[in-house]
Amino acid sequence: MSPTSAMPLAPAAPAAAPDELLEIDVVLTDRAEDVDEALEVIHDGFVEAGYMAPRRSGRRMHASYLNPGTAFVLARMDGRAVGACALIADGPFGLPSDRAFAEENDALRARAGRLFEGGSLSVRGDARRHTRRIMMRLAAAISRLTIVTDPTAHVVIAVTPESARFYGAMLGTCEISGVRPLYEAPAVLLRTSGTEILEHTAQRATSLQRTMDALVTETQPSWLRDRRSHRPYPAPWLGELLDEGPVVDTLAAQVELLALRHPDVLARILGRAGTRAAA
């Protein structure tokens, strides 16, 4: 039995989960109302960590979030957002970790298969006593999505050197880079895949593996909802976020590159955009 057929992403029927995790609910989403909450959690976490300056909107927007196939994971406790992360599909705007690990990512791009980045993981400051459990829920949701989307796809994660061991114990990751500065802080790049996550957690040799195995393979996860709509973000909401950050400059650079190297592709994009605007 294949992993994808054995494990629905988020069936509607409820089922039991470990008691210590019941109060944490997770949504997998690309809906603006959920993504807005996720971007707020990520913004606050990045500001607190010193990775970015505060923005007027209180949201962190990165150009790579606009890559097709990207989804956000939002954790809530008692209806309040407490943690967030994203599974970012490689695409026209690259990956966040390209900033420090472009060579390693390009090497993976040269191999067969798709490339994703699990990143932007943040937990609210007033929920830090639940950090481990929130992180496990977020990681499990991303793992499940990876498994059903493409279990052999490469998944990279940029973390602080002191966090690498925890991610290895949780997801079976391996380091594929040395220490580099990323957002003015030391980081290493890790790699895994859906298949490797399943193999690692199935060992069930540690409490961490046993809990992750239960979360990743649970056939009816009452804690997880799939709210993806696969629709474009509302233009007014997205426009405000793009206008206040460096994303517009990144988009402009991409348009200039397309105009220079692939004018036919740019013409098709502009044509589709004009059609949607007219509608």
Q: Give the CATH number of the domain where residue 164 resides.
A: 3.40.630.30
Instruction: Give the predicted TM-score (pTM) of the model.
Output: 0.83
pLDDT at 14 over 70: no
**121 and 94 within one domain:** yes
Beta-carbon-side half-sphere exposure of residue 196 (alpha carbons within 13 Å)? 17
CA distance linking residue 279 with residue 178, whole number of Å: 50
**71 and 17 within one domain:** yes
**108 and 150 within one domain:** yes
**195 and 58 within one domain:** yes
pLDDT in tens, 172-202: 999 999 999 999 899 999 999 999 999 999 9
DSSP string, 135-170: HHHHHHHHHHHHHHH-TTSEEEEEE-GGGHHHHHHH
**172 and 48 within one domain:** yes
Q: Is there a domain that residue 241 lies in?
A: no
Lowest mean pLDDT, pick from 15-29, 123-137, 229-243, 256-270: 15-29
How crowded is residue 31: how many other Cβ atoms within 10 Å of its Cβ? 16
**254 and 219 within one domain:** no
Q: What is the structure's pLDDT at 259?
A: 79
Q: Is there a domain that residue 240 lies in?
A: no
DSSP-derived letter for residue 227 is: -
Looking at per-residue pLDDT, the higher value among 250 and 230 belongs to: 230
Number of domains in the chain: 2
CA distance linking residue 262 with residue 112, whole number of Å: 24
**131 and 70 within one domain:** yes
**209 and 73 within one domain:** yes
**271 and 203 within one domain:** no
Whole domain around residue 118: which residue ranges?
3-233
Q: Is there a domain that residue 239 lies in?
A: no
The residue among 166, 153, 110 whose CA lies nearest residue 175 is 166
**190 and 263 within one domain:** no
CA distance linking residue 230 with residue 82, whole number of Å: 24
Strands 24-29 and 224-226: parallel
pLDDT in tens, 46-95: 999 999 999 999 999 999 999 999 999 999 999 999 999 999 999 988 99
